Amino acid sequence: MKEKEKKPLKDRLLNKYRLVVLNEETYEERLSYKLNKLNLFLLSALVALFIIITTIGLIAFTSIKEYIPGYDSTILRTTAVKNIETLDSLALVISKNQEFINSIGSVILGEIKEKQSNKETSVSRVDISELDFKTNVEDSILRKIVEKEDRFNAIESGASKIKFVLFSPISGEITSGFDPGIKHLGVDIAVPTNSPVKSVSDGIVVFAERTIETGYVIIVEHSFNLISIYKHNSLGLISQGELVKAGQVLALSGNTGELTTGPHLHFELWNEGNPINPEDYISFE
């Protein structure tokens, strides 16, 4: 029996077939298509090519490419850098605001940081016994001349850093002075209830709330890192965030809070996070 001869590839591709769609009940021919293997191959290739071109076009010319993992573009890099810079700026602002809030809290509670209060003494602490001083006659004579001249010179206090005039917040008798030893970081001025309490200088109100211990408290931030505090008020006439002028009435004095002993104004001055004696800069008479 002879083996069936294989037809050439061209003939096999061009062999014609018929695709017929029949009605199952009546066997009526509904559709009929003439096909061959070459047509099927070309049709499949065209469909695949269309899908590939469409996919590449969507990725290349639309924003779909941004959702592909690992895709990176100049716009994305620029946006990422801007977001990082914005995040760093926000972190710095939050850190500064937190420091400011902490400093305001320490001012309200009357707390002094030990590092700040002892900063000068800790830096300048030197054992004199370890130093070797050698002087000659000329140095001794010059020192005596300078000492005589300095006796008649006005020496500026190292604690004085305020370069502008401060107005008296209220006039009255000081019943309790500045004494950090007992944590009395301001002065108490005895005045009648509802006396006007004025701002010592231009500034912005950073705190204006009622507290349990010191009644209605107002804190104003001024230039040169100066903060003024007014406690035991009966009524506040300004609000937080408001700009005030020197001499502007901030509140009415009173006898509010658990720590009060009578109608008076407790007034404090803070410079660079440390309390200073108000009587060194303001006359309350």
Domain boundaries, the chain: 9-61, 72-109, 173-280
Task: For residue 194, count CB atoms less than 10 angstroms from its CB and return exposed for 0-12, middle for 13-18, buried for 19 or more.
Answer: middle
Q: Which residue, chain included where needed, has tokens 């100066």? A: 226
The residues, any chain, with a CB within 8 Å of residue 268's CB and separated by 6 or more, are: 107, 110, 185, 186, 187, 228, 229, 231, 275, 278
In order of 68, 109, 135, 148, 170, the CA distances from 214 in angstroms are 62, 10, 57, 50, 18
What pLDDT, on the 0 to 100 scale, is given for residue 66?
Answer: 72
What pLDDT, on the 0 to 100 scale, is given for residue 161?
Answer: 46
Backbone angles phi, psi at 58, to 5 degrees: -65, -40
Does the 173-280 domain belong in CATH 2.70.70.10? Answer: yes
What value does the CA radius of gyration of the chain take, rounded to a whole number of Å? 44
Q: Mind listing the pLDDT tens digit of every residue in the chain (285 residues)?
A: 455 566 677 666 677 777 788 888 887 888 887 777 777 888 889 999 999 999 888 887 887 777 777 676 677 778 888 888 888 888 888 888 887 777 776 666 666 555 444 444 344 444 545 555 555 666 666 666 666 555 554 444 444 444 567 899 999 999 999 998 888 999 999 999 999 999 999 999 999 999 998 999 999 999 888 999 999 999 999 999 999 999 999 999 999 998 888 999 999 999 888 899 999 999 887
H helix runs in the chain, sequence order = 9-14, 37-61, 74-109, 114-117, 119-123, 137-150
What pLDDT, on the 0 to 100 scale, is given for residue 130?
Answer: 55
What pLDDT, on the 0 to 100 scale, is given for residue 36?
Answer: 77
